[in-house]
Amino acid sequence: MRFHLLLLALVAAGTGARVARAADVPRYNVLLITADDLRPAMGCYGDTRAKTPNLDRLAERGVCFDRAYVQYPVCNPSRTSLLTGTRPETNGVTGNDTFFRDKLPDVVTLPQLFRSHGAVAISFGKIFHAALAEGEAVNRFLDAGKSWDEARLFRPTKEGNTGPRRNLTGGILKWCEVAALEGTDDDQSDGQTAKHTIAAMERHTGKRWFIGAGFLRPHDPFVVGKKYVAQYPAGALEVHRDPADASPLSKHALGGGAAAEAFKRFDDRDRMAFLTHYYAGVTQTDAQVGRLMAALDRLKLWDTTVVVFVGDHGYHLGERGWWNKNTLFERSCRAPFLIVAPGVRPAVCRGLVEFLDIYPTVAELCGLPVPDAVKGKSLRPLLADPTRTVRDSALTHVTRGPNVTGFSLRTDRWRYTEWSDGGAELYDHQNDPGEWHDLARMPANAAVLADLKKVLADRR
């Protein structure tokens, strides 16, 4: 009943916003939880190998979006798009080295929107991308003072940085490193993020808040607490093998460069080490989410808090010989997305959604006006009835160097990818969910290609 009253209370606004806040809309808190480089490697998404009991419990409390797609499958562009409600191809943020305010100086970010309406906004860990910043520049890249009242990153302790390490590429890729680390969870950056998030929820009891808890794992380097690595002993995981009849890759399909050459040198020992430590990182993040859930229980906050969990994009674990993100395949474009909100019944939603839709959804759930610059669609209709749809397609974008761009359109059945130099790919998810067989050059699919090409042109 409470949720339906909320829906009725949200009314159309005039100039400057799509929705105005009604007086009787509950003033919910927001807990935004992000996991870095997390594909849907979770039990609630059907991954039977993943040990994610807490994330599975979180999914059971709310709506699990089974087909959610990022707008750019790299950390900074994806997070910028989500938190500003704008598309990478229009906001200009298409790499990890661009601070979003340099392109969008006046944009109102999602936490900034809450802050401007009286909420305390706090960021712990990686919410905005600040990996390249050092010293005082960290606060700038975290957007402290504009988006957040407080924003902090954490470093592991000395003990939490101790353990045998191995670079899987002989040092070619400095990030491609695995380790089983000593210490407790709080000796790790992510454990500190969980600890400080809980303390902030306790400290601001009775106030309205928006808190971001950004966990680094399973992102590289794959340095994880040894107790999590131990949960994936020999035989627990199996190295992926592409089908022998998989179509040849288009020349822009993968990121290329040193990474592509390094991955070709992997043997099965390297592949298994990568896989094991990736999954261990997933389970380590799951444990931190469990700590946050226990705090929500103890503080009795579930009835006053909207909880959003996302991975910032998908990831390849050997599919197509790739061990990274930044492709226009399903493995890279699709990411986990959960919403738990007061009055929202648990369900799985199989309709197509974009991460662009998170901003307006959260704002409207909490009765705040959605700025006109925000291009996403509210998912409130799907929260009320998960069998509905709000989109016929989802759009993801990448660049390849300074001159080539790619756009990929995901419809209910098809993935159609178009490159700016004239290349195209077509995959039939009804019969080929792994995207192993490119059908773009088959004459029988000419009509499908023409239709999808028009839809993509309209979307762009």
Q: Which token pair is 200?
A: 């902030």
Residue 23: Cβ within 10 Å count: 6
pLDDT single digits (tens) 375-405: 999 999 999 999 999 999 999 999 998 999 9
pLDDT score, position 140: 86
Domain ranges (residues) in the chain: 28-392
Q: What are the two backbone dihedrals, phi and then psi, of residue 352, each rounded to the nearest 5 degrees?
A: -70, 130
Helix (H) or strand (E) segment spanning residue 5: helix 2-9
Report how far residue 20's alpha carbon sits from residue 353's, in angstroms, rounded to the nearest whole number.
23
Identify each DSSP E strand in 177-276 by its residue range.
177-181, 209-215, 222-225
Helix (H) or strand (E) segment spanning residue 394: strand 393-400
pLDDT score, position 131: 64
Q: Find, among 106, 23, 38, 137, the residue nearest to 78 by Cα.
A: 38
Helix (H) or strand (E) segment spanning residue 227: helix 226-229
Report how far residue 145's alpha carbon sits from residue 337's, in angstroms, rounded to the nearest whole number.
28
Q: Which token pair is 163?
A: 């353990």
Question: CB-based burial of residue 341 (10 Å sphere; 0-12 exposed, 13-18 middle, 19+ buried)?
Answer: buried
pLDDT score, position 4: 42
Identify each DSSP E strand in 127-269 by its residue range.
150-152, 165-167, 177-181, 209-215, 222-225
Report how far residue 395's alpha carbon sits from residue 118's, in angstroms, rounded to the nearest whole number.
34
Identify each DSSP E strand in 203-295 by its residue range.
209-215, 222-225
Scan for tokens 């993801």, then name that residue: 396
pLDDT single digits (tens) 80-99: 999 999 999 999 999 999 99
pLDDT beneath 50, residues of the chain = 1-16, 20-23
pLDDT score, position 18: 60
CATH architecture of 28-392: 3-Layer(aba) Sandwich (3.40)
Question: CB-based burial of residue 206 (10 Å sphere; 0-12 exposed, 13-18 middle, 19+ buried)?
Answer: exposed
Q: Report the predicted TM-score, pTM, of the whole model to 2 decimal places.
A: 0.94
pLDDT score, position 27: 85
CA 411, 430, 72, 110 torsion: positive or negative?
Answer: positive
